[in-house]
Amino acid sequence: MPEQRDDAVAARAPFGERLAAAMAEHGPLCVGIDPHPGLLAAWGLNDDVQGLRSFSLTVVEAMAGHMAALKPQVALYERHGSAGIAVLEETLALSRTAGILTIADAKRGDIGSTMAAYAQAWLGEGSALAADAVTLSPYLGYESLRPALDLAAATGRGVFVLGLTSNPEGAAVQHVGGADSVAARVIRAVGMENAGAVPFGSTGLVIGATVGDALQRLGIDLAASAAPILAPGLGAQGATGADMKEAFGACWDQILGTSSRGILAAGPSGSALLDAARTTRDSLR
């Protein structure tokens, strides 16, 4: 019913506020849910829909009430077809019931009505795939994301825009322009979305935890963006809490570190998963 959807939206605080509260209560860590075939096997699970479901729900149950957010990797559900998407829907629903924020790592980016359809899927009220936030790619032009940016604002949800990633190929696009690099322009555009937000807005950035001195070399001021910073790469990808503190400096309070394999390798025991997550989180404090 439209009236019920409107009431739900009206009662929902903006994503930036909800994320800030979750980070203050539980610490600055987002746990990735990455059901790689190798991890399923290490847990003694089959690489099928049943294994996918057991893996995903175990992570949610272990982390709910203890961590700020969860980040399911959408591609690892899509590889199982429609049944895998149904597991993702169940994972998001269980997280919602358990009161833990979700970031769908979908990296969507397109133009026009196609981008609007992606926005409805991941951010629309009533969609079974709607998460608290979704990752987006701005490389068809930042304004191509406008349908998702506007819908997120209207529904109290958020987005995380790829800003500066640490994969070697990323520099060929993101670093172009030097002091006026592509990454810097994306980050400035995000700052305009968040103007006036305290402590940060609902339009976040994805900045790799292993970018090293790239922020300094490109003259990027993340603090000015007022964006929550999703920083993948902690743990298995090589970044430590100390590395991140050196790289991010003055914007440290905006950082939401994310770790997947480094924590998930501790499974399938829920208590062991939580212990691994707590150790990782404490390295960020």
The 10s digit of each residue's pLDDT in 16-74 is 999 999 999 999 999 999 999 999 999 999 999 999 999 999 999 999 999 999 999 99
Contacts for 275 with CB less than 8 Å, ≥ 6 apart: 266
Sole residue written with tokens 């902690």: 234
Give residue 6's pLDDT: 62
Give residue 202's pLDDT: 98
Q: Tell me the mean pLDDT in the region 198-207.
A: 96
Give the three-state DSSP class for 178: helix
- Per the structure block, which two tokens stand in for 86? 């149904």
Query: Which CATH number characterizes residue 208's domain?
Result: 3.20.20.70
Give residue 274's pLDDT: 98
**Active-site residue 245, yes or no?**
no
Which one of 12, 36, 96, 107 is the catalytic residue? 107
Give residue 168's pLDDT: 87
b vs e for 181-215, b when ≥16 Cβ sit within 10 Å of the residue's Cβ? Answer: bbbbebbebbbebbeebeebbbbbbbbbbbbeebb
Give residue 178's pLDDT: 85
Is the alpha carbon torsion for 99, 202, 75, 24 positive or negative?
negative
Q: Tell me the mean pLDDT in the region 101-118.
A: 98
Assess contact for 132 and 15: CB atoms under 8 A. yes
Number of structural domains found in the chain = 1
- Where does the pLDDT of residue 236 fall: very low under 50, low under 70, confident under 90, or very high at 90 and above? low
Instruction: Point out the least confidently predicted range of 119-133, 151-165, 193-207, 222-236.
Output: 222-236
Give the three-state DSSP class for 29: strand
Give residue 285's pLDDT: 79
> What's this model's pTM, rounded to 2 decimal places?
0.95
Q: Tell me the mean pLDDT in the region 208-216.
A: 86
φ, ψ (nearest 5 deg) of residue 230: -85, 115
Assess contact for 31 and 263: CB atoms under 8 A. yes
Amino acid type, 245: K
Assess contact for 129 and 86: CB atoms under 8 A. no
Q: Tell me the mean pLDDT in the region 223-241.
A: 85
Q: Tell me the mean pLDDT in the region 184-192.
A: 97
Q: Tell me the mean pLDDT in the region 256-282.
A: 96
- Is the preceding omega at residue 28 within 30 degrees of 0, hence cis? no
In terms of residue numbers, what domain contains 65? 2-282
